[in-house]
Amino acid sequence: MSELHRFLFDGQPVRGVLVRLTDSWREVLARRKDGDAFDAPVRHLLGEMAAAGVLMQANIKFNGTLILQIFGDGPVKVAVSEVSSDLGFRTTAKVVGETAASDTGILPLGEMVNRHGQGRCAVTLDPEDRMPGQQPYQGVVPLNGDDGEPLSRLADVLEHYMAKSEQLETKLVLAANDEIAAGLLIQRLPLEGEANLAGEGQRDQAEADEDYNRIAVLAASLKREELLNLDADTILHRLFWEEKLIRFEPHQGAVGPKFECTCSRERVSNMLRGLGREEIDDIMAEQGRIDVGCDFCGARYQFDAVDVNELFAEGPDHPPGSSNLQ
Ligand SMILES: [Zn+2]
């Protein structure tokens, strides 16, 4: 069962989240089988993005959708994971051509999305109650470090993002295979952070630095294989047995991370209306019907001539030819 664990380090300005996506991750892969499946390195990148998205959403508890995107200049043009406030996630990619062969099923990030140094990573927070016209918050970072060096792992990119955009020191470990997508996030809290439980009065900066650095080094020692193969209790015990952890009730089952797609016939209908009657009639003339597939979950939505007439017969909000897709 997929699960998420949140914890604090008692008396220290550090918090953590550990996620293991198992059944939910296998469901994502099962929806893209055979000829439709992504190459192994892309699958594993998407697994890491799913795990990272869930970690970040759980960490900030944002009321809305957190969208993690990589815009690549290699064979992977776009890779995306989206996570709702109830930890429902979905992920997909657009790949043109083939990724390089890899015996391990893993490729450096640059091979897939940053061959020419133009790759970007974006984190978007789209609030549930967004007003019409209000733009979601978005932060964008290149896939290179401060000295222009290409970053070879998603975890490095996101640590860089947190430091640049959020001024938060963060340590991330991510890994995925075809069975599980998993991640560990450790983050330093501001000294006066309200979540700094059991803080014993004023701590000095050097001491806080030392605490965070020690915990970050422990977290970074977590090996990919351990993250993939060990259960949460074993991982946390092995890494932090000398620390005092305050653990919260795990999120699993109904309140845990789960695969969830937000597509619907209504949304597809709105999208088609946005294209305008003329465009739709052209497609109908060419193909006899409209067939829209969801890239995230594989659902197919079909519209015949009768459906198309209904689309444009409803309500005055969508006059023929109006377009909200740019
Ligand atoms: Zn869908």
What distance in angstroms lies between residue 267's CA and the mean position of ligand 1's atoms?
A: 10
For residue 159, which of 172, 146, 149, 148 has the smallest C-alpha distance?
172
What distance in angstroms lies between residue 305's CA and the mean position of ligand 1's atoms?
A: 23
Q: What is the DSSP letter of 280?
A: H
Contact assessment for residue 5 and residue 260, using Cβ atoms and an 8 Å cutoff: no
Residue type, 34: D
21 phi/psi in degrees, rounded to 5:
-100, 110
What distance in angstroms lies between residue 92's CA and the mean position of ligand 1's atoms?
A: 10
**What per-residue confidence (pLDDT) applies to 182?**
98
With a cut of 70, list the residues of the chain below it in pLDDT.
191-203, 314-326
| Pairwise CA distance, residues 43 & 47, whole Å | 6
Which residues, in sequence order, are CB contacts of 77 under 8 Å at separation 6+? Answer: 71, 94, 95, 96
What distance in angstroms lies between residue 301's CA and the mean position of ligand 1's atoms?
A: 10
For residue 91, which of 23, 136, 142, 29 has the smallest C-alpha distance?
29
Sheet containing 64-71: which strands, arranged edge to edge? 137-142, 120-127, 64-71, 76-83, 88-95, 258-259
| pTM higher than 0.85 | yes
Angle at 154 between CA 89 and CA 70, to 5 degrees: 65
**What per-residue confidence (pLDDT) applies to 202?**
55
What distance in angstroms lies between residue 298's CA and the mean position of ligand 1's atoms?
A: 6
Contact assessment for residue 44 and residue 176, using Cβ atoms and an 8 Å cutoff: yes
Residues shown for the chain: 326
What distance in angstroms lies between residue 261's CA and the mean position of ligand 1's atoms?
A: 5
Contact assessment for residue 176 and residue 47, using Cβ atoms and an 8 Å cutoff: yes
What distance in angstroms lies between residue 32's CA and the mean position of ligand 1's atoms?
A: 12
Contact assessment for residue 27 and residue 197, using Cβ atoms and an 8 Å cutoff: no
Please list, residue by residue across 258-275, b when 16 or more beta carbons sit within 10 angstroms of its beta carbon and e when fewer do: bbbbebeeeebbeebbeb
**What per-residue confidence (pLDDT) applies to 176?**
97
What distance in angstroms lies between residue 283's CA and the mean position of ligand 1's atoms?
A: 22
What distance in angstroms lies between residue 112's CA and the mean position of ligand 1's atoms?
A: 25
| Pairwise CA distance, residues 246 & 6, whole Å | 9
**What per-residue confidence (pLDDT) applies to 326?**
37
What distance in angstroms lies between residue 260's CA and the mean position of ligand 1's atoms?
A: 8
**What per-residue confidence (pLDDT) applies to 315?**
58
What distance in angstroms lies between residue 143's CA and the mean position of ligand 1's atoms?
A: 28
